Amino acid sequence: MPPAFAVPDDTTLPLHLIGQDDLTAWTADQPSSVAAWVGASGFTAALGQALLVPGETGAPLMALAGFGTAETRSRARFHLAAAAAKLPKGSYAVASGLPADQAEVEVLGWLLAGYRFTRYKSAKPMGARLVAPEGLDTARLLALAEGEYLTRDLINTPASDMGPPDLEQAARDLAAKHGARIEVITGEALLERNFPMVHTVGRAADRAPRLIDMTWGETGPHITLVGKGVCFDTGGLNLKPGESMGLMKKDMGGAANVLGLAHMLMATGVALRLRVLIPAVENAVSGNAFRPGDILTSRKGLTVEINNTDAEGRLVLADALAYAQEADPDLIVSMATLTGAARVAVGPDLAPYYSDDAGFCADFEAAALAQADPVWRMPFHTPYEAMIEPAIADLDNAPKGGFAGSITAALFLRRFVGTSPYVHFDIYGWQPADAPARPKGGVGQATRALYAMLGDKAQS
């Protein structure tokens, strides 16, 4: 759970955010003792700097946080969080320097900076607590932070404790918390209910594959979130090399993201008819593993030639997307840690997404910018359709040649969606190095932007 906001009392310190261009003017307005301390301490107001200023008795009088320059702020996110992590234990109330149009994101960054993954090892909590600035919806901010914490916890948990049954339990816990309905189809029942590719990908593992189906809400737009839940990906018979397998506990990052987003939406009571579909499997190796060269028949009836068993995520998503379309929702969103090609194209920080709706993209990217949740639009480039059409089946799960891997995967998925508007995210789900409000490890991507976008859609 994220840290609660502090209640102001006599020990609360005023916190001043100071830009580098404003430091001279700010110190000129302070008592000489304060100006002397700031100068002697080497505080330049560089982004992320933090400083306690003592009073006449030696006790802290105030705290300063460096806000850098417009240029340094443009190259970073969560500017206040960078300083918050360096402040000593105590409660702080922003007294000056926080732009009103950035207050929500900066306060959220403070909450996100408090994340610690402590399931297997204790960690020192962040000592600095913030008094919520006036005018902010603190319940909403806490819900956003809780959703992000959930996503991070799920991704960070290794596959030994986050297999398909554990992911199911996480979904059940979330459903119980918010009064949602949930159905889970497991093992051989997947064949009986016509989810053949979910079953095929997961059948080699000791822990049975399953489809998790959670629904919530009675009014508003019908939104279906589909999250890839490959709890560990060995690559199957096309076995990954060891260095490529090390992070495969995060291959259920799409599922973790949609569950975190679902919490945000349900906790704040957004008027939606929400559905979450998660095909939860392990791509394992055993005598009954599916093979290169196999032809699979999907729920939709399209046949798929398997040219690489390590391109399994699109297979389980395909059955789930076909199932989602059968209810004709107003919008289908898929989120998946799907291709290495997306990482090569945009790196780990941007969430690449695919949509044919220019109006949606404009509104969505405005929401992403406001939420400090960066995204990048990628093309459903129709001329590449021929690349996913092999000789002896309708579709190829791994086109040869290595070109446009993320695009061809998105085109493959689009074949399983009918008339409903569709948005696909090929996310990374992992922060490779510590950054303000984003410690190394599992991370949510595009969820806050989607939350803002879907909230606006529900109100329109």
Give residue 127's identity as a one-letter amino acid code. G
CB 61 within 8 A of CB 53: yes
Percent of the chain residues past pLDDT 90, beyond the cut:
97
When computed from its CA atoms, the radius of gyration of the chain, rounded to whole angstroms, is 24
Predicted local distance difference test score (pLDDT) of residue 113: 97
Tell me if 13-133 shares its fold with 142-459.
no
Catalytic residues: 240, 314
Q: What architecture does CATH give domain 13-133?
A: 3-Layer(aba) Sandwich (3.40)
Looking at domain 142-459, what is its CATH homologous superfamily? Zn peptidases (3.40.630.10)
pLDDT at 213 over 60: yes
pLDDT at 460 over 60: no
Span 373-421, pLDDT tens digits: 999 999 999 999 999 999 899 999 999 888 999 999 999 999 999 999 9
- Band (pLDDT 50/70/90 cuts) for residue 457 is low
Question: What's the mean pLDDT in 197-202?
Answer: 98
Question: What's the mean pLDDT in 267-275?
Answer: 97
Percent of the chain residues past pLDDT 70, beyond the cut:
99
Over the range 130-160, which residues count as b (16 or more CB within 10 Å of their CB) and which as e? bbbbeeeeeebbbbbbbbbbbbbbbbbbebe
Task: Report the chain's mean pLDDT, rounded to a whole number.
Answer: 97
Question: What's the mean pLDDT in 153-164?
Answer: 98
- Band (pLDDT 50/70/90 cuts) for residue 455 is confident
pLDDT at 107 over 60: yes
CA distance 260 to 353: 18
Question: What's the mean pLDDT in 419-425?
Answer: 96
Question: What's the mean pLDDT in 75-103?
Answer: 96
CA distance 322 to 285: 27
Question: What's the mean pLDDT in 97-101?
Answer: 96
Span 297-346, pLDDT tens digits: 999 999 999 999 999 999 999 999 999 999 999 999 999 999 999 999 99
Question: What's the mean pLDDT in 223-240?
Answer: 98
Predicted local distance difference test score (pLDDT) of residue 156: 98
Domain ranges in the chain are 13-133, 142-459
SS3 per residue for the chain: CCCCCCCCCCCCEEEEEEEHHHHHHHHHCCCHHHHHHHHHCCCCCCCCCEEEEECCCCCEEEEEEEEECHHHHHCCCCHHHHHHCCCCCEEEEEEECCCHHHHHHHHHHHHHHCCCCCCCCCCCCCCEEEECCCCCCHHHHHHHHHHHHHHHHHHHCCCCCCCHHHHHHHHHHHHHHHCCEEEEEECCHHHHCCCHHHHHHHCCCCCCCEEEEEEECCCCCEEEEEECEEEEECCCCCCCCHHHHCCHHHHHHHHHHHHHHHHHHHHCCCCCEEEEEEEEEEECCCCCCCCCCCEEECCCCCEEECCCCCCCHHHHHHHHHHHHHCCCCCEEEEEECCCHHHHHHHCCCCEEEECCCHHHHHHHHHHHHHCCCCEEEECCCHHHHHHHCCCCCCEECCCCCCCCHHHHHHHHHHCCCCCCCEEEEECCCEECCCECCECCEECCCCHHHHHHHHHHHHHC
- Joined together, the tokens standing for residue 426 give 């090929």
